Structure 1
Amino acid sequence: MPSQPPPQSPPQPPPARRFAWAGRNFRIQTAATVVSGLGNAGAPIATAFAVLGDGGSGTEVGYVTAARLLPTVLLLVIGGALADRLPRHHVMVAANLFSGLSQAVLAALVLNGHTQLWQLLVLSAAGGAGFALYAPAAEGMILQSVPPDHAARAFSVFRMGQNASQIGGAALGGALTAAVGPGWVLGLDAVCFLIAAALRFFLEAEAAPTASGTTMLSELRDGWREFASRRWLWVVVLQFSVLVACIGAVESVYGPVVAQERLGGAADWGLAMAAYGVGLVVTGLLMVRWQPRRILLVGNWGVFLFGVPALALALAAPLPVLIAAMFLSGVGVTVFGVNWMVALQQEIPAEMFSRVCAYDHLGSLSLAPLGIALAGPVSNALGLSGALWACAVVSTLLSAAVLLEPQVRRLTRRTTADALVAPEPAPVP
Structure 2
Amino acid sequence: MRLGTHRLRVLRHARFRRFLLGQTTSLLGSGMNTIATTFAVLRLPGGGVDAVGGVMAARIVAVLVVLLLGGVFTDRLGARTVMLAADVLRFGSQAVLALLLLTGSVRIWEVVVLAVLLGVGEGGFMPGLSAQVPGLVPLEELADANALLAMARPLASIVGPALAGVLVAAFDAGTVVAVDAVSYGVSVVALVGMPEVRAQTSGRGLSGELGQGWREFTSRTWLWVTTLHIGLFNFFLWAPFLVLGPAIAERRLGGASAWGLVLASEGVGAIVGGVLLLGRSPRRGLAWSVAASAGWAAPVAALATRLPLTWVVGAAFLAGIGAAVCTTLAATVIQRDVPAEVRGRISAFDSLGAFALGPLGLALAGPVSGVVGVGRLLGFGVLWQVTAVGVVLAVPSVRRHEATPRVDARVGAH
What TM-score, normalized to structure 1?
Answer: 0.80
Report the secondary structure of 1:307's partner residue: helix
- Structure 1 counterpart of 2:340, from 333, 350, 359: 350
Per-residue CA distance 1:353-399 (angstroms, 9 max, x = gap): 11110110111112122222333333443454444344333333332
Residue 289 of structure 1 and its aligned partner are, at CA, apart by 2.4
* Count, aligned residues: 402
CA distance, structure 1, for counterparts of residue 245 and residue 173 of structure 2? 17
**8 Å contact kept, 1:111–1:183:** yes
Supply the AA of the counterpart residue of 1:141: Q
Per-residue CA distance 1:94-130 (angstroms, 9 max, x = gap): 2123223334555567778898765655444333221
Q: What residue in structure 1 maps to residue 326 of structure 2?
A: 336
Residue 87 of structure 1 and its aligned partner are, at CA, apart by 3.1
- Does 1:230 find its partner at 2:220? yes
Unmatched tracts of structure 1, length 5 or more: 1-15, 424-429
- Does 1:30 find its partner at 2:32? no
CA distance, structure 1, for counterparts of residue 101 and residue 250 of structure 2? 19
- Does 1:326 find its partner at 2:316? yes
Report the secondary structure of 1:374's partner residue: helix
Supply the AA of the counterpart residue of 1:166: S
Residue 185 of structure 1 and its aligned partner are, at CA, apart by 4.5
- Does 1:101 find its partner at 2:70? no
Residue 404 of structure 1 and its aligned partner are, at CA, apart by 2.7
Q: Which moved more, 1:47-56 or 1:160-169?
A: 47-56
Percent pairwise identity: 36
CA distance, structure 2, for counterparts of residue 161 and residue 170 of structure 1? 14
Residue 27 of structure 1 and its aligned partner are, at CA, apart by 1.7
Cα–Cα, structure 1 residues 17 and 299, in superposed 2: closer, same or farther, change >3 Å? closer
- Does 1:40 find its partner at 2:30? yes
Alignment of 1:403-422 (within 5 A): 403-414=393-404
**8 Å contact kept, 1:92–1:134:** yes
Supply the AA of the counterpart residue of 1:295: G
Indicate the structure (1 or 2) with the bigger Cα radius of gyration: 1
CA distance, structure 2, for counterparts of residue 402 and residue 101 of structure 1? 42
Cα–Cα, structure 1 residues 45 and 369, in superposed 2: closer, same or farther, change >3 Å? same
Per-residue CA distance 1:69-98 (angstroms, 9 max, x = gap): 222222111000111111322221221232
Supply the AA of the counterpart residue of 1:353: R
**8 Å contact kept, 2:337–2:403:** no
**8 Å contact kept, 1:177–1:266:** no
Q: Which moved more, 1:19-28 or 1:341-350?
A: 19-28
Residue 347 of structure 1 and its aligned partner are, at CA, apart by 1.3
Cα–Cα, structure 1 residues 180 and 405, in superposed 2: closer, same or farther, change >3 Å? farther
- Does 1:275 find its partner at 2:261? no
- Does 1:172 find its partner at 2:169? no
Cα–Cα, structure 1 residues 183 and 141, in superposed 2: closer, same or farther, change >3 Å? same
- Structure 2 counterpart of 1:142, from 124, 133, 143: 133
Q: What residue in structure 2 maps to residue 206 of structure 1?
A: 196
Residue 64 of structure 1 and its aligned partner are, at CA, apart by 4.4
- Does 1:190 find its partner at 2:181? yes
- Structure 2 counterpart of 1:76, from 53, 64, 67: 67
Cα–Cα, structure 1 residues 125 and 264, in superposed 2: closer, same or farther, change >3 Å? farther
Q: What residue in structure 2 maps to residue 219 of structure 1?
A: 209
Supply the AA of the counterpart residue of 1:284: G
CA distance, structure 2, for counterparts of residue 51 and residue 256 of structure 1? 20
- Structure 2 counterpart of 1:241, from 215, 231, 235: 231
- Does 1:253 find its partner at 2:232? no
**8 Å contact kept, 2:10–2:144:** no
Per-residue CA distance 1:46-66 (angstroms, 9 max, x = gap): 556667788855x77655443
Q: What residue in structure 2 maps to residue 362 of structure 1?
A: 352
**8 Å contact kept, 1:238–1:364:** yes
- Does 1:160 find its partner at 2:165? no
Supply the AA of the counterpart residue of 1:296: L
Q: Which moved more, 1:360-369 or 1:35-44?
A: 35-44
CA distance, structure 2, for counterparts of residue 129 and residue 64 of structure 1? 14
Cα–Cα, structure 1 residues 183 and 389, in superposed 2: closer, same or farther, change >3 Å? farther
**8 Å contact kept, 2:241–2:378:** no
Supply the AA of the counterpart residue of 2:144: R
Cα–Cα, structure 1 residues 52 and 192, in superposed 2: closer, same or farther, change >3 Å? same
Alignment of 1:7-22 (within 5 A): 19=9, 22=12
**8 Å contact kept, 2:131–2:335:** no
CA distance, structure 2, for counterparts of residue 255 and residue 306 of structure 1? 14
**8 Å contact kept, 1:66–1:373:** no
Residue 180 of structure 1 and its aligned partner are, at CA, apart by 6.7
Cα–Cα, structure 1 residues 20 and 38, in superposed 2: closer, same or farther, change >3 Å? closer
- Structure 2 counterpart of 1:375, from 365, 387, 403: 365
Report the secondary structure of 2:199's partner residue: coil
